[in-house]
Amino acid sequence: MDLRGKVVLVTGSSSGIGREAAIQFARKGSIVVVTYCRHRKAGERIRRECLLHGPAELMHLDVRDNRSVSTAVRQVTRRFGRLDILVNNAGVLSVAPLHRQSPRGIIVKAAEEKLGKRSGDDVDIWEYLDESP
């Protein structure tokens, strides 16, 4: 597939798999939109790596926040006129094997993410459940 000139947005591209995906798209000649959530400096580094190959932008995007997602998409379409490819990579990993996880543990992890808390913080699961669709 010819990826030259395609406008590609990779969520969670300030590290890991998203970082690699962003750089590979840049190497193939795509216009890459790198996004970060908490680590702007890391995102800037990846954008600079992409710029070695072609145009690249850096944007903040938090997939937990609908407004953040629509703002990023609007910025991309305003800047480049379109969005050709979305790589929705952003996410979090639970490090324990599934058989060692409890339903409560999984809900607490989801609540920490949704409410923007860090592991070990007090999490009000009911607040999370009230907000969940």
Site residues (vs ligand NAP, CB under 6 A):
11-18, 36-39, 42, 61-64, 89-93
Closer to ligand NAP at the Cβ: 30 or 89? Answer: 89
Separation CA 129–CA 6 (nearest Å): 39
SS3 assignment, position 133: coil
Report the nearest approach of ligand NAP to the CB of residue 80 (Å).
Answer: 20
Amino acid residing at 19: R
Strand partners, 33: 9, 57
Residue number with CB closer to ligand NAP (5 or 16): 16
Nearer to ligand NAP, 43 or 81 (CB): 43
Here the tokens at position 75 are 């910025």
